[in-house]
Amino acid sequence: MTTQAVEIQILGKTTRVNCPAGQEQSLTEAANDFDQRLHELSERTKVTNTEQLLTIAALNLCYELREERKQSVSDTSEMEQRIMLLQQTIEEALLKHSASKA
């Protein structure tokens, strides 16, 4: 897999990062989102120490990711239950239909 070096800017510092070819736009958007989050977090918390700010941001992102994963599992479970109920309803309707023809 080929990689492409992309320059991103986080908290005013430019960094070159390698990413898979074709993913440059996604990386740039992610970097911009992260930079925006850091600026907002800094304003909200008044934390100016970069290491502390990055640690808090990382914890927030990990928390959000965990919540999204839990929601995804819950949504998948709910969808599976709905599909099973729908399948059961269809099977019952087919049985009633075939019984009424007999």
Q: Which region, left, alpha or beta, applies to residue 16 given φ > 0 means left and ψ of -120 to 50 means alpha?
A: beta
Domain, as residue range, for 64: 3-101
| Domain of residue 15, CATH code | 3.30.160.880
Distance CA 54, CA 78 (A): 36
Which pTM value belongs to this model?
Answer: 0.72
For residue 78, pLDDT over 90 is answered with yes
Question: Which residues are registered as beta bridge partners of 5?
Answer: 18
Q: What total of structural domains would you count in the chain?
A: 1
pLDDT band at 10 (very low <50, low <70, confident <90, very high): very high
Distance CA 83, CA 68 (A): 22
- Mapped onto helix, strand or coil, the DSSP state of residue 42 is helix
pLDDT band at 87 (very low <50, low <70, confident <90, very high): very high
The pLDDT tens digits of the residues spanning 13-38 come to 999 999 999 999 999 999 999 999 99
